[in-house]
Amino acid sequence: MKAMTIKKYGKNTPLELTELSVPEVGEYDVLVEVHAASLNPIDFKIRDGKVKMLLSYKMPLILGNDFSGKVIQTGAKVSKFQVGDEVYGRPRKKRIGTFAEYLSVHEDDVSLKPDNLTFVEAASLPLVGLTTWQAFHDILELKPDQKILIHAGAGGVGTFAIQLAKEMGAYVATTASEKGHDLVSSLGADQVINYREQPFEEVLKGFDAVFDTLGGESLNRSFRVVKPHGKIVSVSAVPNGRFAVENNLGLLKRIVFSIVSRKITALEQKFNVDYHFLFMKPSGEQLSKIKDLVEKGRIRPVVDRVYPLEDAEEAIQYVETGRAKGKVVLEVKKLCNPFMMK
């Protein structure tokens, strides 16, 4: 099969089109003919070696963390799917590799795809959908009429997060450039701050929660927005000691993460706010709930560009610019698509 791989860690390591064997299918696995796979910041973070403390892979490594496609084979003990099912999913972290023609994935990590979406649209949702779902339901426990700040609302995670927060009844403020203003407003944002013209922490006060997708100074300034006993969840900053304990990462990593997150811990204590780092977990069950919302018209995918599989290197470079509005998707199985980038 054809797959886009890297041979070593490094920011300048290119993705190369490689011929590999079709993956083996375990007794609880389904073999999926991949039709589309989306790109996410975690892909270039893995390539760069920035998450080696949490995840380490053998080379050559097929990148890619979510997908849509058709089931073409099932393991002996698979009970949830059958050959021919159209599915979407996010494989568990040690089994990534969706930038390929075929993927073997545990049945628990897969859901039937929304009937009203194309494969390209469906592939744009699993990682951002699960990330947001777990942030809002499991950590923030977002409730109707609570106020949440979502950073980078026009980005891949942000476009989904705005819609889910509104579906849950929250008041949503978001940051975006002037070019992203119309998009985030169309998704339901109640308040849009142009981060290039006005510091968001000077405008927003007394919020219940912040969903951080940027890290760095944006995260640090976010503590000024949240009221006492509020919560901040980040998918882009550093893990803290609490994260290491909750995930049983061992004493050394607990110490390391406690040290590197000491500035965040100091801000937690100063503003009396709870900070959580989120490393999303795959869940076919949660994807099924997202599927229901999509089919009811409550959430829609936002796709910026579509590239063919062999142009994955160009696609990931575009994602790294941070200019994408919504998601960037690779079309693996070539179908008629007038929006394909040439």
DSSP code at position 100: B
pLDDT, average across residues 204-210: 98
Task: Band the pLDDT of 338: cuts 50, 70, 90.
Answer: very low
Task: Determine contact, residues 205/221, Cβ cutoff 8 Å.
Answer: no
Determine the Cα–Cα distance for residues 40 and 213; give it in Å rounded to an integer.
12
Same domain, 43 and 177: no
Mean pLDDT of 87-101: 97
pLDDT at 255: 86
Better-scored residue on pLDDT, 237 or 82:
82
Pair 139, 153 in one domain = yes
pLDDT at 335 over 90: no
What are the distances in angstroms from CA 110 to CA 8, 100, 123, 189? 29, 17, 12, 30
Say yes or no: 136 and 268 in one domain. yes
**Do 43 and 107 share a domain, yes or no?**
yes
Tens-place pLDDT, residues 153-189: 999 999 999 999 999 999 999 999 999 999 999 999 9
- Tell me which residue of 127, 87, 156 sits closest to 302, measured CA to CA: 156
Q: State the Cα–Cα distance between residues 297 and 233, nearest whole angstrom.
A: 27
Alpha helices per DSSP H over the chain: 41-48, 119-123, 126-133, 156-167, 181-186, 216-222, 241-246, 251-260, 262-271, 284-295, 312-321
Tell whether 10 is covered by a domain.
yes
Residue 289 lies in a domain: no
251 assigned to some structural domain? yes
* Most confident of the following: 113-117, 195-199, 237-241, 331-335: 113-117
Domain co-membership, 135 together with 268:
yes
Task: Say how far apart CA 41 and CA 32 lie, in whole Å.
Answer: 23
Sign of CA dihedral 191, 196, 198, 202: positive
How many residues belong to the chain?
342
Q: Are residues 133 and 121 in the same domain?
A: no
Given a cut of 60, whether residue 219 has pLDDT beyond it is yes
Average pLDDT on 21-42 reads: 97
> What is the structure's pLDDT at 337?
42
Tokens linked to 233 = 């969840």
Is 39 in contact with 316 (CB distance < 8 Å)?
A: yes
Q: What is the pTM of this model?
A: 0.93
Q: Is 341 domain-assigned?
A: no
Range of the domain at 41: 2-125+301-331
Q: Are residues 146 and 11 in the same domain?
A: no
Most confident of 58-62, 331-335, 337-341: 58-62
Pairing of strands 147-150, 207-212: parallel
Has residue 302 got a pLDDT over 60?
yes
* pLDDT at site 240: 74
Of 130, 92, 55, nearest to 288 (Cα)?
130
The pLDDT-based confidence of 108 (bands split at 50, 70, 90) is very high
CB atoms < 10 A from the CB of 50, how many? Answer: 15
The rounded mean pLDDT for the chain is 94
Average pLDDT over residues 302-308: 98
Tokens of 289: 């709930």
339, pLDDT greater than 60: no
**What are the tokens at 115?**
């009937």
65 vs 52, higher pLDDT = 65
Number of domains in the chain: 2
Pair 111, 149 in one domain: no
On the CB side of 174, CA atoms within 13 Å amount to 32
Q: What is the CATH number of the domain that holds 15?
A: 3.90.180.10
State yes or no: pLDDT of 5 exceeds 90.
yes
- From 277, 292, 314, the end of a domain falls on 277
